[in-house]
Amino acid sequence: MSSLRNSLVGITAAVVVVNVTAVCAADEVTARSTNTAASSATSFIERGRYLVEIAGCNDCHTLGYAQSGGQVPESTWLTGDSLGWRGAWGTTYPRNLRLYMQTISEDQWLKIAHTAQFRPPMP
């Protein structure tokens, strides 16, 4: 269980980095791509992309991902889905994780990832 939580921390930290990178001007990103910090950020993003894919986050948090076998643009990854999951817990909806991560700090997320009790079917 703690390895799942550790994966969640890594994945979501990478989502935050992707969001931050996405708002940078394209020429700024290009200029930074030659320095070490950019290389480090790039490998961090690649690691996050890999973790998101193997952990299946897109299956629920991306509209149409599971139904199409993953054939959706990466720009739509983790933007949430309106499909509700109903059970004894009520009805839950996979949130837009890109927006969610912008509302909390990295420290807040680390605390949430280690302590939160998400309702089903959130792993």
User: 67: Cβ–Cβ under 8 A, 6 or more apart, which residues?
Assistant: none
- Stretch of residues binding ligand HEC (CB under 6 A), selected from 19-27, 29-37, 41-49, 86-94: 86-94
| Rounded alpha-carbon distances, angstroms, from residue 41 to 5, 48, 54 | 22, 10, 20
Residue of 95, 96, 104, 110 that binds ligand HEC (CB under 6 A): 95
Contact 19, 101 (CB under 8 A): yes
- Site membership for ligand HEC, residue 10 (CB under 6 A): no
Point out which residues bind ligand HEC (CB under 6 A): 8, 11-12, 55-57, 59-61, 85, 92-95, 97, 100, 118-119, 121-123
